[in-house]
Structure formats: C-alpha cells, structure tokens
Amino acid sequence: MEQELTVTQAAHARNSIRKYTDEPISDDTIRELVSVAGLAPSPWNIQPWRVVAVKDPETKGKLMEAAYGQPQVGASAVTFVIWTDMAEAIDNVEDTIHPGMKEREAETAKSIRDHFAGYSESDFHWWGRAQGYTFMGFLLLAAQSHGYATSAMLGFDPEKVKALLGLPEKAQIPAIVAMGRPAEDGFPHYRHGFDRFAKIV
C-alpha cells in the first residue's frame, strides 16, 4: 500500500465518495485494513464486531439491491458489511480476556455475563451495535490513510442482507461501507466549529 497518512491527515482528507475507479483491491489489503480497524477500543475487550468483505461482482449487485439501489455498492472495489453478534461474543467471552488476566479469567467471565444478564434484549443488541460503529470509524480512517475513499451507509434492508450473506437471525448490522479508489473529489468538509459542540471545563 502507498504512503500512509497520519490519523489527523486522514480525518481532514476523508469525505463521502460514491464514485470509484475500477482498480481492484487485493485480499491482503483488505486483511490489513480490517485488522487495523479491529484495534478499535471495546469495553471488556469483547469485540462483538464481525465483517463480511464483499468483492464478488454478482454478490455486490445483490447487496446493492438490498441497499435500495445505492450505486456506490456496485461501483466499489469492496463493500464491507459490518455486523455484530453479542450472543456469540458473550458465549465465548473467555476468548477475549487478556492473557495477563488468566488467573482471573473465570471471575472476569462471570462478571461480564452477570452484567449483560440484566440487559433487555434490545439494549443487549444496541450495546453491540455501538461497538460496531466504533469499529466502522477506525475502518474509515484506516482506508483513507491508504488512499481509499469510502461511503458509509445506514440505508439497507437488514433482513435481505442477512439472507444474502447467511448471517445469524439475531445478527445486527450497524452499517455497510463501500470502498475504492476515488473517481470524484466529493464536497469539502462543512462542519460545526469547536464552540458549537464542545466546551472545556
């Protein structure tokens, strides 16, 4: 991959791009970007995010239909379907407990499971979705840092996406992200200034 941008450079450079060149993307590049995104923080290190990287043109076409015909899906080099599976994550929570806490693994696992036992099903799934959005933010910056443009989408039929990709019935899909080399500049940033949304106390 080309020279990386810093996080600050990538944040300033990134905007939503919906048109891409026909340059393909390698599986190694996908693995690198997704692995970087997987470094996103997650409480208790649970990491409930899961990803399907859709490169196959026919599957992208069907995914585009499930995304209400948004053309960036079909035009992308790859579209990432970010999904979360809290039930699987909690069932296997021992897998994500740090080796440095091995002597407290059973205690920690019980504490985590007891905590989520008090959640409603809706809150349980929304907790996982929030982790998926954090993962997505890291993925967008990782992609931009290597010169790939992205378009994050919330508009899609989750049931059709799950059926297309064979995802579990209770899977949650926070977003899908189209990615490729940009074929347009897009709009420059037009954002609130610091004082509009933040203060220092």
Q: How far is CA 83 from CA 110, 125, 183, in A?
A: 25, 11, 28
pLDDT at 101: 87
Nearest to 51 by CA among 180, 175, 179: 175
- Measured between alpha carbons, how far is 126 from 92 in angstroms, rounded to an integer? 19
- Measured between alpha carbons, how far is 5 from 11 in angstroms, rounded to an integer? 9
Instruction: Summarize pLDDT for 169-200 with one digit per residue, the tens.
Output: 999 999 999 999 999 999 999 999 999 999 99
* pLDDT above 90 (res 8): yes
Going by pLDDT thresholds of 50, 70 and 90, the confidence category of residue 47 is: very high
What are the chain's domains?
Answer: 7-184 (3.40.109.10)
Instruction: Summarize pLDDT for 104-145 with one digit per residue, the tens.
Output: 999 999 999 999 999 999 999 999 999 999 999 999 999 999
- Measured between alpha carbons, how far is 152 from 112 in angstroms, rounded to an integer? 31
Read off the pLDDT of each residue in 145-159 and give the average, rounded to a whole number. 98
Query: Which residues on adjacent β-strands are paired with residue 53?
Result: 80
